[in-house]
Chain A
Amino acid sequence: MKLHEYQAKSLFADAGIPVPDSRLATSVDEALDAVDEIGYPAAIKAQVHVGGRGKAGGIKIATDREEAEQYAEEILGMDLKGYTVDQVLVESGVDFVDELYVGVTMDRGEGKPVLMVSTEGGVDIEEVAEENPDAIAREHVDPAFGLHPYQARKVVYEAGVDADVALDVASILSTLYDLYEENDASEIEVNPVMITSDRDVVAADAVMNIDEDALFRQPDLAEMAEESYEDDLERKAGEYGFDYVRLSGNVGIIGNGAGLVMTTLDLVDYYGGAPANFLDIGGGAKAERVTQALDMVFSDENVDAVVFNIFGGITRGDEVAKGINEALEQFDEIPKKVVVRLAGTNAEEGMEILNTDLVEVEETLEDAVQRAVANADEVTQ
């Protein structure tokens, strides 16, 4: 789960990390009130979960009120890579002479958190990692002990940070690690950390992702997650508790188990279709979950046809069939053609129950996907 920049920065500020003065605004008037308080130059930054906001036109620096108004008008309501901007962070401009990259993330291969520091801040760190990997200093942290303060200093010196600010940067890094642990973050990135002409150190950007599996013990962050949905369907999926990802195609996909659902997406693509979503109903789903899943996919206006693929382990075919019947029998006319494939536990019982006046049935995964792709093509032709 991604936090917005303004959410992450409020956590930073509470922990004592220096951040620029800022206000959140949802209208041009609010944005102008904010710049009136903060002064110029002021950065106007779109609060959406997309990388490369600056390049895409989602961050502008205003030097006077006229510019501030113009940029706020431009950015509020703009479409940034498919997301509509409905709030901006208005932030005091920082007069900087140097930019650093600082981050904490989980190294999956090592199974340990890793600190990262680079003096090549302010640019795409992935490019730096690829072209000049030595420019990023790394230090692994033993998760049983936590961070030793010397490790933060070591990695900062190793990266070649200027001596007069090195301890300040190390202190920020230490605090970031505390935040990483306390908040069950999966990643925290500050790019850039700015060094001002007065040699102050300021966190000018903030990326913070939270481990969704830890939200049960992070009630405040779970609340922030609510504020973070940017899409009605994602919000709905969150309410239902589904693993859901929206994609750009027109074949709706419902299945059980992440690997099998991904495979179904891949097969839709392989057979010439375009997947509209990833929707995993999880293990052991009862009829009610199935109707909720169909409701989700039907309410996505991009979807032209649906494939429902279940291989039952702990999920039972008869429960799934019951749910499909219940969901479809409420319609006078089925809104989108649904192809069903049931295999595994109680698949035969499920096939007997399934109302085949309402759905199409296929025996294999491959056949089910091809039929759904053909159904979608029929609609678009």
Chain B
Amino acid sequence: MSIFVDDDTRVVVQGITGGEGKFHAGQMIEYGTNVVAGAVPGKGGQEVDGVPVYDTVDEAVEAEDADASVIFVPPAFAADAVFEALDTDLDLAVAITEGIPTQDMAKVNKRLSETDTRLIGPNCPGIITPGEAKLGILPGNIFSEGNVGLVSRSGTLTYQVVDNLTERGLGQSTAIGIGGDPIIGTSFVDALEAFEADTETDAVVMCGEIGGEDEEQAAKFIGEHMDTPVAGFIAGRTAPPGKRMGHAGAIVSGSGTGTAQSKIDALNDAGVPVGDTPEEVADHVEDFL
């Protein structure tokens, strides 16, 4: 088992004719993902790498029976693309786009609360169930099949930690990048809840970072609802207040909320060991298994 995606997932790629969309659709197909359609306004009837392109997501879903979408659409049009995915009642939409204005995401978030679709991202690397499917831009070759679930706000930090795990023979059930923006579709708690219910996930790694209170809420959830052991990592210990550290969501407020220390304390209080280095995170996972 795995969470959210597997080898039955049928994927439509929104923005498949753009540079990023085309490249990563190819990579996803190469990994073995069922990429069944593309959706790009004005490009209906074309093909990209043998994948039929439709003008709307609705047509793509109708014709190819897709149940998930991956969105590679530039920031100015991305919120519209997410709305299109949500309004088509897909099971899953993964928004890779970085730089969607926060007020657009607030509107998306409102719509999201009225649908049954799961949104992952935006500003995320996507999701991978090793050996089965990859939706996004994660480099497939560093992952290996196994029983460690991973959820992270950052892409490259995920790769670093996965690399440390894979090197020790600790494979992954599913790895999700939930994204570095202030407003995102899938939270740590959503992912942790799914990992807890997954019989093939025996340990979880959670990589958080400064800003917001998602990690604190995750710590509370772990303490109250999880039997599966969780190891943590928090990036941004040295970040000064008031400065945006790359990710739009990675900012310690002037009043000192959203600090790395408050997140580390919350996780420790919930019995979650937090590594000082990525290697130490892998040490903790090794201890669990």
Using CB atoms and an 8 Å cutoff, list the residues of chain A in contact with chain B. 51, 106, 108-109, 111-113, 126, 129-130, 142-144, 181, 184, 186, 211-214, 216-217, 243, 245, 247, 255-263, 265-270, 275, 278, 280, 283, 311-314, 343-345, 364-366
A278 in contact with B103 (CB, 8 Å)? no
B99 in contact with A280 (CB, 8 Å)? no
Nearest CB of chain A from residue B121's CB, rounded to whole Å: 14
Q: Which of chain A's residues have a CB closer than 8 A to the CB of B276?
A: 270
A143 in contact with B103 (CB, 8 Å)? yes
Nearest CB of chain B from residue A215's CB, rounded to whole Å: 9
Q: Which of chain B's residues have a CB closer than 8 A to the CB of A213?
A: 75, 99-102, 248
Point out the residue from B156, B158, B212 that lies within 8 Å of A256, measured CB to CB: B156
A259 in contact with B125 (CB, 8 Å)? no
When chains A and B are docked, how far (Å) is the Cα of A365 from the Cα of B161? 11
Nearest CB of chain B from residue A265's CB, rounded to whole Å: 5
B160 in contact with A266 (CB, 8 Å)? no
- In the A-B complex, list the 6 residue pairs whose CB atoms are closest, starting with the nearest: A259-B154, A258-B246, A257-B156, A126-B255, A259-B157, A214-B101
Asked whether any CB of chain A lies closer than 8 Å to the CB of B249, the reply is yes
When chains A and B are docked, how far (Å) is the Cα of A258 from the Cα of B153? 10
A343 in contact with B111 (CB, 8 Å)? no
When chains A and B are docked, how far (Å) is the Cα of A263 from the Cα of B155? 12
Q: Which of chain B's residues have a CB closer than 8 A to the CB of A278?
A: 239, 243, 245-246
**Contact A144 to B107, CB < 8 A, known contacts A213-B248, A344-B142:** yes
| Interface size bracket, B side | 35 or more
Using CB atoms and an 8 Å cutoff, list the residues of chain B in contact with chain A. 75-76, 98-103, 105-107, 109-111, 125, 137-139, 142, 152-160, 163, 180, 182-183, 207, 209-213, 217, 233, 235-240, 242-250, 253-256, 260, 276-279
A129 in contact with B255 (CB, 8 Å)? yes
Q: Give 14 new A-B contacts, CB below 8 A, not counting A260-B159, A313-B139.
A: A108-B212, A113-B106, A142-B110, A143-B103, A213-B99, A214-B102, A217-B76, A243-B244, A257-B246, A258-B246, A259-B154, A263-B160, A266-B237, A283-B137
Nearest CB of chain B from residue A66's CB, rounded to whole Å: 35
Point out the residue from B125, B139, B157, B254 that lies within 8 Å of A51, measured CB to CB: B254
A266 in contact with B249 (CB, 8 Å)? no
Q: List 16 A-B contacts (CB under 8 A).
A: A108-B211, A126-B253, A144-B107, A211-B248, A214-B101, A216-B76, A217-B76, A257-B157, A259-B152, A259-B154, A260-B154, A262-B157, A262-B210, A266-B235, A266-B238, A275-B238
B110 in contact with A313 (CB, 8 Å)? no
Nearest residue in A to B152 (C-beta to C-beta)?
A259
Q: Which of chain B's residues have a CB closer than 8 A to the CB of A243?
A: 244-246
DSSP class of A's interface residues: helix, strand, loop or mixed? mixed
Q: Which of chain B's residues have a CB closer than 8 A to the CB of A311?
A: 156, 159-160, 163
When chains A and B are docked, how far (Å) is the Cα of A181 from the Cα of B75? 18
B236 in contact with A262 (CB, 8 Å)? yes
**Contact A143 to B106, CB < 8 A, known contacts A311-B156, A313-B159:** yes
B110 in contact with A258 (CB, 8 Å)? no
When chains A and B are docked, how far (Å) is the Cα of A212 from the Cα of B157? 23
Q: Which of chain B's residues have a CB closer than 8 A to the CB of A257?
A: 154-157, 246
Nearest CB of chain B from residue A230's CB, rounded to whole Å: 13
Point out the residue from A109, A112, A211, A258 that lies within 8 Å of B213, measured CB to CB: A109
Nearest CB of chain B from residue A17's CB, rounded to whole Å: 20
Nearest CB of chain B from residue A98's CB, rounded to whole Å: 24
Q: Which of chain B's residues have a CB closer than 8 A to the CB of A344?
A: 139, 142, 159, 163
Point out the residue from A216, A258, A268 that lies within 8 Å of B154, measured CB to CB: A258
Q: Which of chain B's residues have a CB closer than 8 A to the CB of A214?
A: 101-103
When chains A and B are docked, how far (Å) is the Cα of A283 from the Cα of B245? 15
Nearest CB of chain B from residue A350's CB, rounded to whole Å: 14
When chains A and B are docked, how far (Å) is the Cα of A176 from the Cα of B159? 42
B246 in contact with A366 (CB, 8 Å)? no
Chain A CB within 10 Å — which of B100, B207, B243, B277 has the most? B277
A245 in contact with B240 (CB, 8 Å)? yes
Q: Which of chain B's residues have a CB closer than 8 A to the CB of A364?
A: 279
Q: Which of chain A's residues have a CB closer than 8 A to the CB of B139?
A: 312-314, 344-345
Nearest residue in A to B253 (C-beta to C-beta)?
A126
**Contact A313 to B138, CB < 8 A, known contacts A111-B183, A211-B103:** yes
Q: Which of chain B's residues have a CB closer than 8 A to the CB of A129?
A: 255
Nearest CB of chain B from residue A147's CB, rounded to whole Å: 13
Q: Which of chain B's residues have a CB closer than 8 A to the CB of A268?
A: 238
When chains A and B are docked, how far (Å) is the Cα of A312 from the Cα of B254? 33
Nearest CB of chain A from residue B283's CB, rounded to whole Å: 12
A270 in contact with B277 (CB, 8 Å)? yes
When chains A and B are docked, how far (Å) is the Cα of A267 from the Cα of B278? 10
Q: Which of chain B's residues have a CB closer than 8 A to the CB of A263?
A: 157, 160, 233, 235, 278
Chain A CB within 10 Å — which of B156, B207, B279 has the most? B156
Q: Which of chain A's residues have a CB closer than 8 A to the CB of B137?
A: 283, 313-314
B183 in contact with A267 (CB, 8 Å)? no
Nearest CB of chain B from residue A44's CB, rounded to whole Å: 24
Nearest CB of chain A from residue B234's CB, rounded to whole Å: 9
Nearest CB of chain A from residue B25's CB, rounded to whole Å: 13
A245 in contact with B277 (CB, 8 Å)? no
